[in-house]
Amino acid sequence: MHEVRYHGEIRFTRYLDKDGTPLGELPDWAHQAQPWVDYYQQMVLARQLDTKAISLQRTGQLGTYASLLGAEAIDVVCARLMQAEDVLVPYYRNHAMQMIRGVPIDQILLYWGGDERGSAAAEMGKDLPNAVPIATQCLHACGVATALKYRGQAQAVLTMIGDGGTSKGDFMEALNVAGAWQLPVVFIINNNQWAISVPRSKQCIAPTLAQKALGAGIRGEQVDGNDALALHEVVGQALERARAGKGPTLIEALSYRLSDHTTADDATRYRPSEELKDAWQREPVARLRNWLHRCSWWDEERENAWQAEAKRMIDTAVEQYLAAEPQPVDDLYDHLYAECPPALAEQREQARHKQARQQGGQDHE
């Protein structure tokens, strides 16, 4: 005989349509100007940072850079909802989160400019550096959460991954252990529809990525990642549950990668231009601005003033970044082990001479 042992469902949350028009009566918490104006301002700042980073790369002043275009709402809302003592375990597209958590913008640029000191900023606290290998950050987040839980700290860990990363074992192993141990971790999938050139439809047959949570026995839901209101509610609840010891959540935020994968990529080779044009109709920054205008919490004058202020902040940071002193050559050797072993100390000495030679010093042979 057969019986049904399990029925799963995935909730989807959206409050604003693509033009910023409410889809119905909004909850009480949406009836005042904050945090929405703040979210909007940070989203503008994030976009300006992104635009500037790409232009720095194009002019040879920054290395290969992963654009965050289209992820502004996800990054800003998640970062704003995190508390200082929560821990961020980022992937390589979360620099807006780092900025909002207090990392100086020039330090963020330093990382993308090929300098390890960009992950050394004291403002990063116990946050992990960017994970470049796919999905590995999900397991690190579980380890951080294990540490928080072991020490009885009522804080949460938030980690993010792309849609492509959900195909990897690390992601599934992380969901599994987070569920088994009821860890205080929130997994965010920035489902921007593309993993470099491979579309979401080729990653997985499941209609939602959020339902991968069900196999691990944890809560999973989907949210419009271009809708700051929906993100605010869903991510906020997940973080609170985590801090309250009520276990992990997987949130699939639906967005669109409006950029190339990185500055080393050219999406016109594989992505239909119609699809991109359509995605720009749903993008997060204009959507929130339209709603703020509708609520009379924002206007043209404030827009112009904030765009100018954001530009000033980014320009100042770029100046600081470009003026950064070169990294001492010893740094390459002195941060590998707690103490530099003798064989490495010899190589450090060689590097000092090589640096002097490359800089045209007297050591030239």
Give the interface with another protein as residue ranges (CB under 8 A).
87, 89, 116-117, 119-122, 124, 126, 128-129, 131-133, 136, 138-148, 150, 169-170, 173-174, 176-177, 180, 331, 335-339, 341-344
DSSP track, 153-187: ----EEEEEETGGGGSHHHHHHHHHHHHTT-SEEE
Catalytic residue annotation:
257, 261, 270
- What's the burial of 133, exposed, middle or buried (CB within 10 Å: 0-12/13-18/19+)? exposed
Least distance in Å: CB of 335 to another protein? 5
**Quick one: 84 or 122, whose CB is closer to another protein?**
122
Least distance in Å: CB of 86 to another protein? 12
**Quick one: 49 or 139, whose CB is closer to another protein?**
139
Least distance in Å: CB of 188 to another protein? 17
Residues 88 and 173: their CA atoms lie apart, in Å, by: 19
**Quick one: 23 or 154, whose CB is closer to another protein?**
154
How is the beta sheet containing 87-89 ordered, strand by strand?
11-13, 219-224, 249-254, 185-191, 157-162, 87-89
**Quick one: 106 or 283, whose CB is closer to another protein?**
106
Size of the chain, expressed as the number of residues it contains: 365
- What's the burial of 108, exposed, middle or buried (CB within 10 Å: 0-12/13-18/19+)? buried
Least distance in Å: CB of 64 to another protein? 16
* Location of structure tokens 């635009």: 51
**Quick one: 89 or 188, whose CB is closer to another protein?**
89
Element (DSSP H or E) covering residue 231: helix 228-243
Least distance in Å: CB of 338 to another protein? 4
